[in-house]
Chains A and B, each alone.
Chain A
Amino acid sequence: MMIKTLLRGPAVTVEARAPLEAARDLMSRRGVAHVPVVEGAALVGLLRECDALEAGPSSLPELERYDWREGLAGLRVDQVMDRQPLVLAPDTPVTAAARLARARGVDGFPVVEGGEVLGVVTTADLTAVLVGLLEHRQPPALGNVLAAVSLGASARDVVAEALGLASVGDARLTLLHVLPSLRRFEGVAGVARRIAVLRRSMARDALESMAADGGGVRVACAVAEGDVLTEVVRAAVDRDADLVVMGGTGGHRVRGLLSGSLAEAVARRAPCPVLAVPSAGERRRHARR
């Protein structure tokens, strides 16, 4: 990778005899901390923001009061610029530029080819390359993973997959089980309440036993009640999930859908991607094909 790929648009330059004040305005307007200084087309120096600041009035009143105002107004770029900046050719490798910047304590290089000023490469441009490389290597972390767990045969596969992803992504994992509503027992209030409490605690115990070998991942367990699709989507929204992990097909019948699995239904409504983990049986079927 060469530094010419970091140059953007035509170079912003300033004339050596220009007033420093005008150059500072230009820098702040263009949001740049370095400007190549030219006489005609030839490079004669580099103006750095820090040098311009240092030459400008002091921020401290006890120093600023000794400024000679007419002198300040008369300052020119060539009185403040670096007269011998390190200049790079556009084909310089990014690595070499980084090494040079580090070794020489330089934060910006004019880039010149055949006497023509092409622009400036700064340490900010170089660290932007670093950010790009690191993002490529390490995609944005998963914050919250939600695993919808059925407590059936495939539950362990789903939990194992979710734990693996949460551990790699450094994420918090929530294991959610959704119990069907207890409408049938509505008439017998006491019984319904006892059953509700009992099955909630059984579901929670089952989730916690699966979460026990989490290997350092922060796991929370939650039990909800009602329609599975609604509750999983609600939990994904409430818990700000970055990913939902759940069983792949399974025999769920989803209200309002003629075909397709629960995972597909969740994927259509959830605010984040959904990963469907195939059951052991499904894996075997695929292996035979």
Chain B
Amino acid sequence: MRVAERMRTDVAVLRPEDSLARAEHLMRRHAVRALAVVRKSRLVGLLRHTDLATAFPSAATTLTRGEIGFRLDRLPVSRVLTREIIAVGPGTPLVEAARLMRARKLGALPVVRGEELLGLVTEADLLAALEELLGG
């Protein structure tokens, strides 16, 4: 079973200049815990949900809801991006991708050919593979 058979290609990507608010919205809508950040179809990083959670104002902030929204609309993804690029090729065995995601605690793993982003393998894709293997 290879990564190419399991990756999703219909998932949104972020640009480094996209806002944190947009990133949060896209993660929620696509139900993924990480999104690829792309400049001209070249992968430049991965934004994890934990990066967002760490950046967001604390529960004891003195900012109002409106002020928070205003700031998150203006802070770019590039401010909190994981610059280290972790990605696999489409021919990588799924077991390798799963091991990597577990070891690095990644909710999603970009699939690339060269520097070009082809898709994303998410934790949900791994769970779907597990259900199939167990005959669910």
A residues near B, CB below 8 A? 1, 33, 49-51, 53-60, 62-64, 66-72, 74-75, 79-80, 93-96, 98-99, 101-102, 105, 107, 123-124, 126-131, 133-135, 137-138, 141
Contact of B54 among A53, A71, A80 (CB under 8 A): A53
Question: B11-19, B35-43, B55-63, B112-120: which one contacts chain A?
Answer: B55-63
The smallest beta-carbon distance between B63 and chain A, in angstroms, is 5
Sample of 13 A–B contacts (CB below 8 Å): A55-B59, A58-B56, A59-B54, A63-B63, A66-B62, A67-B62, A71-B59, A72-B59, A95-B131, A96-B136, A127-B102, A130-B129, A133-B130
When distances are taken between beta carbons in the complex, the residues of chain B under 8 Å from A128 are: 102
B99 CB within 8 Å of chain A: yes
| A interface secondary structure, majority | helix
**How far is it, in angstroms, between the C-alpha of A105 and the C-alpha of B28 when the chains are bound?**
10
**Nearest 3 interchain pairs by C-beta:** A71-B60, A95-B136, A134-B95
Closest to A124 in B: B102
User: Are B79 and A131 in contact, with the CB atoms below 8 A?
Assistant: no
Closest to A56 in B: B58
When distances are taken between beta carbons in the complex, the residues of chain A under 8 Å from B105 are: 33, 124
User: Are A98 and B59 in contact, with the CB atoms below 8 A?
Assistant: no
B residues near A, CB below 8 A? 1, 31, 33, 49-50, 53-63, 71, 75, 79-80, 93-95, 98-99, 101-102, 105, 107, 123-124, 126-131, 133-136
When distances are taken between beta carbons in the complex, the residues of chain B under 8 Å from A50 are: 49-50, 53
**How far is it, in angstroms, between the C-alpha of A49 and the C-alpha of B55 when the chains are bound?**
14
**How far is it, in angstroms, between the C-alpha of A51 and the C-alpha of B54 when the chains are bound?**
9
Closest to B129 in A: A130
A66-B57 CB under 8 A given contacts A95-B134, A134-B1, A138-B93: yes
User: Are A102 and B55 in contact, with the CB atoms below 8 A?
Assistant: no
**How far is it, in angstroms, between the C-alpha of A71 and the C-alpha of B62 when the chains are bound?**
10
When distances are taken between beta carbons in the complex, the residues of chain A under 8 Å from B99 are: 131
